Amino acid sequence: MILIKLGGSIITDKTQYRTFRKDTVARLCREIGDSEVGTMIVHGAGSFGHVLAKKYSLQNGFTYYDQVAAAARVQYDVRELDSMIINELLNEGIPAVSVPPGSCFVMDDGKIVANDTEAIEALASVGIMPVIFGDVIMDRKKGFGICSGDQLMEVMCDLFKPTAVVFVSDIDGLYDKDPKTHPDAKLITEVTAENLKKIDSESSVDDVTGGVYSKMEAMLRMSTADRECILVNGSVPGRLCSLLKGEKVTCTTARGGLK
């Protein structure tokens, strides 16, 4: 099984509140189905979550009353986003169901507490794909907090032991600089714990869950001697499908773990 994260930057326009990229998501779901490879999907919140989360500093926890309505609205918005993604998966014959992370997990000072995984495991055991996503969930110390798709990827990786992990974004891979603002940025095709230290961690779009650098750290944590973690550009038609089939594509591969 290959664990896939559909990043918020590819499924939404992260600069515009509640902007769903339906055609792109439909194509990516089609590519996943056409690959005929067993997969499991996590997705980001994109502009359905990050715009309000940043405005009201939800990542810092409950600090003032106006955050309450914002937290509730974010939960509503990301569930709507998830429903649209589930619909595209179902249209491709992929039996998928929504699993809001707050229904099975809590956080403790920003860290996911995954003590109740029975329902997710039961779904997967009968061939139904549980689709979980970035959201606002309750936090034992902070009241609530942002549960990012990257954090959920690590939980799902530990739980289901995939053979490979794929992060689908809107760039070809990891660069030594932000390619959206630096034309001379160079693609790094392989990332290890050693060369990650030299990489510029700036991100061109505000992201309350961290930029590309933190995503690569997460990828390295999920990589092992037998498991690669790959960052691939989902904006290029056919690239995700080719990658899932084992073909060589432009991407960044994380190997060797985070030491």
- Does 25 score more than 70 pLDDT? yes
pTM of the model: 0.91
Neighbours of 110 (CB within 10 A): 16
- Does 202 score more than 70 pLDDT? no
Coil, strand or helix at 82: helix
Q: What is the pLDDT of residues 44-97, one digit of tens each?
A: 999 999 999 999 999 999 999 999 999 999 999 999 999 999 999 999 999 999
**At how many degrees (to 10) do helices 149-160 and 118-125 cross?**
60
Least confident range of 85-89, 186-190, 243-247, 251-255: 186-190
Q: Identify the CATH number of the domain defined by range 2-254.
A: 3.40.1160.10
In contact, 229 and 5? CB cutoff 8 Å: no
Q: What is the pLDDT of residues 135-186, one digit of tens each?
A: 999 999 999 999 999 999 999 999 999 999 999 999 898 887 777 788 888 8
CA distance 201 to 212: 7
pLDDT at 211: 61
> Averaged over 34-39, what is the pLDDT?
96
- Does 224 score more than 80 pLDDT? yes
pLDDT at 209: 47
Q: What percent of the chain has pLDDT over 70?
A: 93
Which residue type sits at 202?
E
CA distance 93 to 29: 10
Q: How high is the mean pLDDT of the chain?
A: 91
- Does 3 score more than 50 pLDDT? yes
Q: Which residues in 133-146 are b (16+ Cβ under 10 Å) and which e?
A: bbbbbebeebebbb
